[in-house]
Structure 1
Amino acid sequence: MSPSRKLLVLYTGGTIGMQMTDAGLAPASGFEVRLRAEQAANPERLVPDWIFRELSPILDSANMTQTNWLQMRDAIVEGVERHGCDAVLLLHGTDTLAYSAASLSFLLLGLPVPVVLTGSMQPAGVEGGDAWPNLFGALERLHTGIEPGVYLYFNGHLLPGTRAGKQKSDAFDAFTESRRPTRGTRANSVPDALNYRHPRRPVVLAVQPLFPGLGAPQMRALLESGVQGVLLECYGSGTGPSADAELLKALKDAHARGVVLAAISQCPEGSVEFDIYAAGSLLASTGLVSCAGMTREAALGKLFGLIGLGLSQAEVESWLVQDLCRELAG
């Protein structure tokens, strides 16, 4: 909880630094100059000393990929271990902000400093906009001191990186903390096998919502596309088309080939508990693992972080059901 004394500001692009072009708002370089000018114009703000780094290329976050997450992870670790930074503020577009916050939560397990992600619904400089309040609000929180971990700061609220989600597309209070049920207790320490120092690699993942009419041919096509992990968004407490024997066989066959199968609930405040209904138990029998009350962003980030380590299917499944950074226990 010590106040930050040397902060890394990592700029990745997003609306916060966008400028108008003939095609509309687009990411723009040179944000450090604008940030320093804004700070100089408001010297009463309490912020840590900071250094600035801009990732290349800067992005509209709609174009964010796993490679960019790994690039962010590398820049953060370099800032901490080589340049002695004791906190990080990452500026990011809002479309995939929650996905990046969740993924970095697992990529940076054990990092001894806080990492806060923020962005804005309007570009910096817009009168009455949210860019400077979000950015300097996050800086002020870091100046006060935050426990190590990954967080998302927006509209005055500091949210856990694995429990945040974008709920609105045109309002300053766009992000909220998940109200999905939590269970279990948080691990007291991060196992060395999952430590941030271990390199990761990109992973082929897919998300498949269940819906009336989804058939075995579509499911099999997805599962045979080369995916290493699939996140199924089930009904309610973890049910699905369990009367479709061919669909269940497609899942079983994929699991036998080593594909990791994970499940979350489609309900905004739902949690997967397979044993409540027979339909859920039949799904679970295919090798599907419950991610309980995890959000989509957290479940995908966790799959990426675990499979990207090169762990076996059984090892990934074992860690999926253990709380590592508030994704399960809240």
Structure 2
Amino acid sequence: MTSSNILVLYTGGTIGMQASASGLAPATGFEARVRAQQSHQAERLPNWSFRELLPPIDSANMSQDNWLAMVEAIRQGTEAGCDGVLVLHGTDTLAYSAAALSFLLLGLAVPVVLTGSMLPAGAANSDAWPNLFGAMQALHNGVAPGVHLYFNGALMHGARVSKLSSEAFDAFQVVPRQRQGTRLSELPAAIDFRQPRQPVNLLSLPLVPGLRASHLRALLDSGVQGLVLECYGCGTGPSDNAELLEVLRAAHARGVVLAAISQCAQGHVEFGVYAAGSQLASVGLISAGGMTREAALGKLFALLGAGLAQDEVERLFSLDLCGERAE
């Protein structure tokens, strides 16, 4: 789908930061800088309008409320006639936002592309303008509906990407993971992008040697609605710790959604391979397959935030909604 009239949604981040007494800080007024720089671009770009989400933030401060504000701004922009959206965002949580928006914008008929930069616009040898205008050019040339991340010349699936470097210009990549899943045949109205969402008490926790049942109990007793448990290998954990397993079982019984991902960068969860994995499945954990942490958290937020019951969340979580579970 080619875009000729795009909304540029500025949230802050390194791309628009300027020097302050305490270091680089988010700054307003970025539209004027973009328009001034556009005059130096040889490529033909689409028409674009600009909107700032105020105040602009360092993406280290990104929250669920910010995600919901982005969704609302994107909805308003498309209703006003925009046929593509470019979100300018800081890199620290860019992959989390790309994943969350992938599930919050299900059913949206126009493409959404997120980008940012490792160095601020105006810095020597910055990647800011190549990323920003490269993303605009990609939208102009044609991008499929859905959420994507553009960085260092690559257009990537929004729910498959992770940040792998804190310095390199190719910091974002789609890590090879086994993706197998049944694609959702028809989008339920309850998770369409027009559906209001509420904040959700979510967390991700890596399994580590020495994790105690008391640690897990304290976490789950804090009101957590969904937990992404980062398991070993293909979905194993301390199966000989009956107390820890009972804590998980009790949490699931009272409605907490428990999802398992692999800690391995190229891993996937397959509970039946080891008895230790089968034990986790038996207490209520659902497999995220080869989904990333970012995708698992974003997907749970979109489902739980829509007010769905535990069993419906688990059913939809196990299906492929936008390409996060299947190629």
Shared fold per TM-score greater than 0.5:
yes
- Measure how far apart 1:41 and its partner are: 2.7
1:127 matched to 2:124? The reply is yes
Equivalent residue number for residue 52 of structure 2: 54
Equivalent residue number for residue 301 of structure 1: 298
Amino acid at match of 1:232: L
Work out the CA distance in 2 between the residues paired with 1:157 and 1:106.
21
Where has structure 1 moved over 6 Å in runs of 4 or more?
Answer: none
Alpha-carbon displacement from aligned partner over 1:171-194 (angstroms, at most 9, x marks no partner): 101000121111135335423221
Work out the CA distance in 2 between the residues paired with 1:59 and 1:300.
21
Judge conservation of contact 1:39–1:45 (CA < 8 Å) in 2. no
Q: 195, 219, 223: which one pairs with 2:220?
A: 223
Work out the CA distance in 2 between the residues paired with 1:216 and 1:320.
26
- Measure how far apart 1:129 and its partner are: 1.1
Equivalent residue number for residue 15 of structure 2: 16
Equivalent residue number for residue 34 of structure 2: 35
Judge conservation of contact 2:103–2:299 (CA < 8 Å) in 1. yes
The 3-state SS of whatever aligns with 2:298 is helix
Equivalent residue number for residue 288 of structure 1: 285
Q: TM-score, length-normalised on structure 1?
A: 0.98
Compute the RMSD of aligned alpha carbons.
0.9
Equivalent residue number for residue 76 of structure 2: 78
Work out the CA distance in 1 between the residues paired with 2:40 and 2:252.
58
- Measure how far apart 1:245 and its partner are: 0.4
Segments of structure 2 that go 5 or more residues without pairing to the other structure are none
The 3-state SS of whatever aligns with 1:73 is helix
Equivalent residue number for residue 266 of structure 2: 269
Q: TM-score, length-normalised on structure 2?
A: 0.99
Work out the CA distance in 1 between the residues paired with 2:182 and 2:231.
24
Segments of structure 1 that go 5 or more residues without pairing to the other structure are none
Judge conservation of contact 1:8–1:89 (CA < 8 Å) in 2. yes
Work out the CA distance in 1 between the residues paired with 2:185 and 2:176.
23
Q: 159, 182, 186: which one pairs with 2:183?
A: 186
Q: What count of residue pairs does the alignment treat as equivalent?
A: 327
The 3-state SS of whatever aligns with 1:9 is strand
Work out the CA distance in 1 between the residues paired with 2:271 and 2:138.
40
Alpha-carbon displacement from aligned partner over 1:237-261 (angstroms, at most 9, x marks no partner): 1100110000000000100110000
Judge conservation of contact 2:181–2:318 (CA < 8 Å) in 1. no
- Measure how far apart 1:276 and its partner are: 0.7
Judge conservation of contact 1:271–1:292 (CA < 8 Å) in 2. yes
Q: 168, 171, 187: which one pairs with 2:168?
A: 171
The 3-state SS of whatever aligns with 1:270 is coil
1:162 matched to 2:154? The reply is no
Work out the CA distance in 2 between the residues paired with 1:152 and 1:185.
24
Work out the CA distance in 2 between the residues paired with 1:178 and 1:294.
10
Alpha-carbon displacement from aligned partner over 1:160-212 (angstroms, at most 9, x marks no partner): 00000000000101000121111135335423221111100000001110011
Identity %: 64
Equivalent residue number for residue 279 of structure 1: 276
Amino acid at match of 2:3: S
Amino acid at match of 1:195: D
1:138 matched to 2:135? The reply is yes
The 3-state SS of whatever aligns with 1:246 is helix
Alpha-carbon displacement from aligned partner over 1:2-47 (angstroms, at most 9, x marks no partner): x2121000000000000011100000000000000000233x2211
292-301 vs 183-192, greater mean Cα deviation: 183-192
